[in-house]
Amino acid sequence: MRVCNGWHRFLLCIPLLLFFAHMLSVLELHQNPSAQELHRKQPKKFGHLVLGPAAGEGLHDRLQCQGVKALNNTHFSSYNSNFGSHIAFVTVFATFNPTVDRQVNGRSSDLLTVGNTSYNKLERSMAILNVFINFIQVTMPQSNIIILTDPASGLPVHRDRVTLYPIQGEYSREKLMLQRIRSYIAFLETRPEEHSQWQGQVYHSIFTDSDIAVVDDLGQIFSYYPNFDVALTFRNNKEQPLNSGFIAVRGTPDGILRAKVFLEEVLKIYSSKYMKASRMLGDQLALVWVVKSHPSFDAKRFTRRQAFLDDVAGASVLFLPCLMYNWTPPEGAGQFHGMPLDVKVVHFKGSRKRLMVESWNFLSSSSSFDISDMLCLILKSGRTKYDF
Ligand SMILES: *[C@@H]1O[C@H](CO)[C@@H](O)[C@H](O)[C@H]1NC(C)=O
Ligand SMILES: *[C@@H]1O[C@H](CO)[C@@H](O)[C@H](O)[C@H]1NC(C)=O
């Protein structure tokens, strides 16, 4: 920097220094992508259904579709009005303080529309809960639905066979999955007392996420597999072979007690090992840890499709394939190669929730009320990310 020696030359150098400062800030800008670039990198979420090809085309044991018309008769043609007797669906539902809705011209800027109804953020989660109830009341009309909530939530749900069950706890977004296991345990603790009033009748519980559609009778698992206490759903996925969105518990005093001990073990592992896991994953990781820590457990069975039974943490645990009991529309490449004809539960995880509402609207507005056709709609549009 010999040019910059001496007083006169210093003055000459000011523009040069400013130039360098400018170059540095330009470089920095290029290393940190601008907001616009970030926006472009995020996958687009659609505000309307996008139909693509149906996965599983040509496979004889998978649903075949022509447009949204099902070519196969799935087993849904005859609903039995007794389906669901002695079954309670149990879900944890929390609403979060909605961030102050911005208003544009007197209307919320946060509205999304499905069909001819617009929903703000709170109304969207209520819509999912209502559709969850709708599906159960079609396919298992005799079942009861129990919603475990924050006593402070004041949830406006008034439906037949639906009971709100307030449980004190910490329902913040960060703690919700932890609270969920605690609420399940608290719920199971109340069952033996109630059991004495049921005069020997057994009432089973199925704990689920509320973004699922029950599309067939689930009561059969309790008679078809008479020896389990707890049922979980598994898939062929190395990191996350178990999904916590579906847990069935046999309603006998023994079943309830063992399920409670099993969930307490999961809670203990969650609290001691996975508190730092992303808020949605801790319970699943803890579930897998408890199952795999059992010395004779053979994780290879997760790669197959058959249900199997094993003893874990003092409970007899039935492992059911996600393929039938927790089917998720394949996003992107799709791991399921289509939809089996005997699918019983569809799970609208993550950004598929609009599809849940659209599916119900499709079903309830069709004259044939054909669940198979609706499954074609789900199969063809499930790869897309939606905004709801
Ligand atoms: C499903 O429908 C397709 C097309 O009609 C047919 O080829 C296939 O055999 C059917 N599958 C079953 C299991 O009936
Ligand atoms: C919603 O819109 C459809 C057609 O666009 C109409 O047939 C239907 O009656 C509307 N439903 C309600 C509740 O307004």
- For residue 155, the domain's CATH number is 3.90.550.10
Nearest atom in ligand 1 to the alpha carbon of residue 61 is 13
Determine, yes or no, domain membership for 343: yes
| Ligand nearest to the CA of residue 361, numbered in listed order | 2
pTM (predicted TM-score) = 0.85
Note whether residue 26 is domain-resident: no
- The closest alpha carbon to 330, from 18, 144, 52, 23, belongs to 52
Q: Quote the pLDDT of residue 128.
A: 96
Least confident of 13-22, 56-65, 312-321: 13-22
Confidence tier at 301 by pLDDT (50, 70, 90): very high
Q: State the pLDDT at residue 336.
A: 66
Whether residue 182 has pLDDT greater than 70: yes
Q: Which residue's CA is minimally distant from atom 4 of ligand 1?
A: 71
| Residue 225 placed within a domain | yes
Residue 326 lies in a domain: yes
Average pLDDT, the chain: 85
Label residue 332 by pLDDT band (50, 70, 90).
low
Rounded to the nearest angstrom, the distance between the alpha carbon of 340 and the centre of ligand 1 is: 12
In a domain, 23, yes or no: no
The tens digit of pLDDT for each residue in 215-270 reads 999 999 999 999 999 999 999 888 889 999 999 999 999 999 999 999 999 999 99
- Band of residue 330 on the pLDDT scale cut at 50, 70, 90: confident
Q: Which of 59, 62, 64 for a ligand 1 pocket mutation test, highest count of atoms within 8 Å of Cβ?
A: 64
- Report the C-alpha gap between 68 and 361 in whole angstroms: 14
Tell me if 25 is assigned to some domain: no
Q: What is the number of the ligand 1 atom nearest to the C-alpha of 63?
A: 1
If you take atom 12 of ligand 2, which residue's CA is the nearest one? 116
What pLDDT was estimated at residue 229? 98
Is the distance from the beta carbon of residue 116 to the nearest atom of ligand 2 less than 6 Å?
Answer: yes
Q: Is residue 74 in a domain?
A: no
Residue 119 lies in a domain: yes
Residue span of the structural domain in which 206 resides? 79-94+108-386
Beta-bridge partners for 317: 230, 310
SS3 state of residue 266: helix
Least confident of 107-116, 171-180, 191-200: 191-200
- Report residues whose beta carbon is within 6 angstroms of any ligand 1 atom: 60-61, 64, 71-72, 341
Ligand 2 contacts CB of residue 197 (under 6 A): no
Q: Give the C-alpha distances (Å, rounded to integers) separating 158 from 121, 146, 236, 376.
A: 20, 12, 39, 31
Number of domains in the chain: 1
